[in-house]
Amino acid sequence: MAKKYNFYAGPAILPQEVMKKAQEELLDFNGIGLSIMEISHRSKDFEAVINTAETKIRALLGVPENYTIMFLQGGASLQFGMIPMNLLKGKKADYVHTGEWAKKAIKEAKLFGTVNIAGTSEDKNFSYVPENLKLSPDAQYVHITSNETIGGIQFSRFPETGGVPLIIDMSSDIFSRRIDFKNIGMIYAGAQKNIGPSGVTLVIMRNDLIEAGTDGLTTMLSYKTHAKEKSMYNTPPCFAIYIIKLVMDWIESNGGLAGIEKINNDKAKTIYDAIDGSNGYYKGTAAVKDRSKMNVTFRLPSEELEEKFINEAKKAGFIGLKGHRSVGGCRASLYNAMSLAGVSELTKFMKKFAGENA
Amino acid sequence: MAKKYNFYAGPAILPQEVMKKAQEELLDFNGIGLSIMEISHRSKDFEAVINTAETKIRALLGVPENYTIMFLQGGASLQFGMIPMNLLKGKKADYVHTGEWAKKAIKEAKLFGTVNIAGTSEDKNFSYVPENLKLSPDAQYVHITSNETIGGIQFSRFPETGGVPLIIDMSSDIFSRRIDFKNIGMIYAGAQKNIGPSGVTLVIMRNDLIEAGTDGLTTMLSYKTHAKEKSMYNTPPCFAIYIIKLVMDWIESNGGLAGIEKINNDKAKTIYDAIDGSNGYYKGTAAVKDRSKMNVTFRLPSEELEEKFINEAKKAGFIGLKGHRSVGGCRASLYNAMSLAGVSELTKFMKKFAGENA
């Protein structure tokens, strides 16, 4: 079976080198005669894995020393609740409403305090990133979703919050580009786009925010627990963390985040150029300035042609090109493990399809 | 490298057949050219995996139709909080205090209502299962820990609760034996002993309890969410669920739970006979009637000999025999994937060691 190109919005493909290494080691990790899945999380072999993963994340992302890196469970969806549960305390937070993911975060926050919608692109179906945010000086934090997988929009830079901690759901673009931790109170991400398999959530949080968390919470829902216990209060998702470690090795060998960012820029340029150069056959749905480099959303001249495009693409080995059911159209997700070659192949197919179905 | 015998309390070994199948399919699942880790959880290939896992769990455990099977995250530790959060509502629940795991469950419950300790074996260092429980007629539920990994004790049968829902943490003995769902309101288990890798928690809950859950909770902390969305409200831990499905195949091929139960009885008998037949060299720490078939705890004549035993066993390929740091001594965990042959080998080593170090 030929390797398929998976353009699904997630879980995403993983680097082939990572998958091959995982396969090689699956029955015998480090020569210990057991799988990484079959050993105690307190064993020195697993402790080396989680410690190395953490060290590499810190180095690659440039995480300052006053932030703690945690490996949690429950996906970004559990974070939507844990963040206000720990930090809102009946007070106010600013949320920028950019689509389905922001909406879910906002819904949970309302259970714990007042939500000020500091900006929204709801008026144009979440096709752009709002500017001129109406931030509250007394907000506990400002929450944004750095990349919206459905609308295909992305913050090209993060808002200036004037010292209020910025909390960013980076589930769909973490490790896709370099980031500046100035203003950042916390970033979090489900692993299954850019850093590993589903089942682990990366949380990077400034220590003063961890310490300021609400007391008296369920132990597992307090960031203090996980920070204090180094993500080992209970058994962590060991295999998923092991894969993250391998992905970090792969990012290193690709020039670190600067290298990855360049490849992602090239991939995005390749497909957006194909869209823009199609004489209007393909139309991008996001505002040009806010186009996501991770999720490229576009339409064809009709829904019938979109269906035909998706089906023929699938036959040609390009799977997962259907847009989210809530918006329709087409979507190509270009997470880190998607190669520039894969994107080039897709654009060739797009050009051919447009020629045959004009 | 020769295969080691892993007697760790968890994560435990997995059946070799399961690991080999997982390795074979790791790069190309079902001939789709992608790993099970690399495809959408909404794809038909993954949906078949989770549906099959659920169907097999229902069949193997004999789960009645009015119970819902869920695959959650966060381990039993998150359940310790979610259970009272959903079901206690400021009222009273009975908890049986049999050791470290029960204690953790009790601690979380106190955040949400009144806890009545219906029985405890704290007086004898949790070396037995309390009988003659003082149950409250007005309890919302009765909570027990069916097997305590540290003390090495196990409920051989579950208490009669007179219609009050029984909630059982079966993290360390689920799928080790047949169970009767009479009285049971809910069972839950972290996967990493008997059913899969860490990172997924199996919850089986009676539908009326799900429906009776507290309203207004964080979406991810309400059982209603996961029941309604069939464990797919957000991206589930796909790979861990896939391994559970393979483990269910393996249990089926070993005669189902009746077959597994017989093997586990034979394994337990083998090692307890070795302990009891050692003329007092090895001494079991648990009350004979409550001895765990999963975690066999024993002492040697001195701490020095225990240390020597653990070290020499390790050199001979038997790892993880050190007792929990809170109680010391030795412990052999005999989860499902440990073969009778592995236990026999250990008992041979024990006999030899006793002969040489009397």
Per residue in B33-74, pLDDT (tens digit) is 889 999 889 889 999 999 999 999 999 999 999 999 999 999
CB A96 within 8 Å of CB A73 = no
**Res B19: pLDDT:** 97
- Selected residues 29-58 of chain B with any CB under 8 Å from a CB in chain A: 31-35, 37-41, 43
Question: CB distance B74–A320 less than 8 Å?
Answer: no
Q: What is the ipTM of this complex?
A: 0.96
For the entire predicted model, the pTM comes to 0.97
Per residue in A329-343, pLDDT (tens digit) is 999 999 999 999 999
* Chosen from A220, A231, A314, A319 to mutate, greatest number of chain B CBs within 10 A: A220
Per residue in B222-260, pLDDT (tens digit) is 999 999 999 999 999 999 999 999 999 999 999 999 999
Q: What is the full DSSP assignment across B214-234? A: PSS--GGG-HHHHHHTTT-SS
- Selected residues 191-250 of chain B with any CB under 8 Å from a CB in chain A: 192, 197-200, 216-221, 233-240, 243
Smallest Cβ distance to B235: which of A20, A75, A320? A75
Smallest Cβ distance to A197: which of B37, B104, B217? B37
Distance CA B339, CA B345 (A): 10
Phi, psi of A169 (to 5 degrees): -80, 105
Distance CA B282, CA B306 (A): 10
Angle at alpha carbon of residue B29, lines to B24 and B32, rounded to 5°: 135
Query: What is the pLDDT of chain B when averaged over all its residues?
Result: 96
**Res A205: pLDDT:** 98
On chain B, the residues whose CB falls within 8 A of the CB of A218 are: 78, 80-82, 85, 108, 111
Query: Average pLDDT, stretch A62-83?
Result: 98
Give how far Cα A340 sits from Cα of A278, A312, A316, B39, Å: 20, 21, 17, 20
CA terminus-to-terminus distance, chain B: 32
Query: Average pLDDT, stretch B3-27?
Result: 91
Helix segments in B217-302, DSSP class H: 223-228, 238-253, 256-276
- Catalytic one among B56, B173, B193, B245? B193
Distance CA B261, CA B58 (A): 17
The strand ranges marked E within B79-150 are: 92-97, 114-120, 142-145, 147-148
Nearest residue to A78 via CA among B204, B198, B237: B237
Per residue in B288-299, pLDDT (tens digit) is 999 999 999 999
CB pairs under 8 A between A and B: 209
Cis peptide before A11 (omega within 30 of 0): yes
Whether B2 shows a pLDDT value over 80: the answer reads no
Whether B1 shows a pLDDT value over 60: the answer reads no
CB B247 within 8 Å of CB B15 = yes
* pLDDT confidence bin for B32, thresholds 50/70/90: confident
**Res A207: pLDDT:** 98
Query: What is the pLDDT of chain A when averaged over all its residues?
Result: 96
Phi, psi of B203 (to 5 degrees): -125, 130
**Res A2: pLDDT:** 58
Amino acid at B242: Y
* Chosen from B193, B234, B319, B326 to mutate, greatest number of chain A CBs within 10 A: B234
Higher pLDDT, B1 or A339: A339
Per residue in A268-325, pLDDT (tens digit) is 999 999 999 999 999 999 999 999 999 999 999 999 999 999 999 999 999 899 999 8
Phi, psi of A201 (to 5 degrees): -120, 125
Distance CA B321, CA B312 (A): 11
* pLDDT confidence bin for A9, thresholds 50/70/90: confident
* pLDDT confidence bin for A1, thresholds 50/70/90: very low
Query: Average pLDDT, stretch B326-351?
Result: 96
Burial A42-60 (b: 16+ CB within 10 A, else e): ebeebeebbebbbebbeeb
Distance CA B317, CA A137 (A): 62
Distance CA B205, CA B189 (A): 12
Spatial neighbors of A90 by CB under 8 A, at least 6 apart, are A112, A113
Beta bridge partners of A72: A201
Cα-trace Rg, chain A: 21
- DSSP secondary structure letter of residue B335: -
- Residue matched to tokens 């019938």: A304
Q: What is the full DSSP assignment across B24-91? A: HHSSSGGGSSS-GGGS-TTSHHHHHHHHHHHHHHHHHHT--TTEEEEEESSHHHHHHHHHHHHHTTTS
Query: Average pLDDT, stretch B68-86?
Result: 98
* B305-B306-B307-B309 Cα dihedral, nearest 10 degrees: 80
Distance CA A75, CA A314 (A): 29
Percent of chain A residues topping a pLDDT of 90: 93
Amino acid at A205: M
